[in-house]
Homo-oligomer: A and B are copies of this chain.
Amino acid sequence: MPKKTFAIGIDLGGTSIKTGVVDKKGKILDQISVDSKASKGPPSVIQQMIFTIQHMFGKYKETECMGIGIGSPGVISVNEGLVKNPPNFANWDEVSLSKAIRKATDLPIFVENDANVAAIAEANFGAGAEYKHFLYVIWGTGVGGGIIVDKKIYRGPYGGAGEIGHVSIDYNGPVCNCGNHGCIEAYIGQRYLSQRTKEILKSQPKDMPPSKIIDFVDGNLDKIDPYIISMAAEQDDRIAREILEEAGKLLGYALVSVLNVIDVRVVVIGGGISAAPHYVYKAMESALRSRILKPNKAAVRILRAQLGNSAGMIGAASLVM
**A253 on the B face (CB < 8 A):** yes
Chain B residue with Cβ nearest A292: B180
- For residue A123, give the distance in angstroms from its CB to the closest CB of chain B: 13
The answer, among B150, B170, B250, for a CB contact under 8 Å with A157, is B150
Interface size on A, as a range, is 35 or more
With contacts A258-B261, A261-B258 taken as known, whether A166 is within 8 angstroms of B293 at the C-beta atoms is: yes
A262 touches B181 (CB 8 A): no
Tell which of A9-17, A171-179, A196-204 binds the partner: A171-179
B166 touches A168 (CB 8 A): no
- For residue A131, give the distance in angstroms from its CB to the closest CB of chain B: 10
- Please report which residues of chain A, range 126-173, place their CB below 8 angstroms from some CB of chain B when the two chains form the complex: 132-133, 145, 149-150, 155-164, 166-172
**A101 on the B face (CB < 8 A):** no
Q: How many copies does the complex hold?
A: 2
How distant is the Cα of A263 from the Cα of B76 in the complex, in angstroms? 13
What chain B residues lie within 8 Å of A167 (beta carbons)?
257, 260-261
**A256 on the B face (CB < 8 A):** yes
- For residue A147, give the distance in angstroms from its CB to the closest CB of chain B: 8
With contacts A171-B170, A260-B163 taken as known, whether A293 is within 8 angstroms of B157 at the C-beta atoms is: no
**A295 on the B face (CB < 8 A):** yes
What chain B residues lie within 8 Å of A133 (beta carbons)?
157-158
The answer, among B75, B179, B263, B291, for a CB contact under 8 Å with A161, is B263
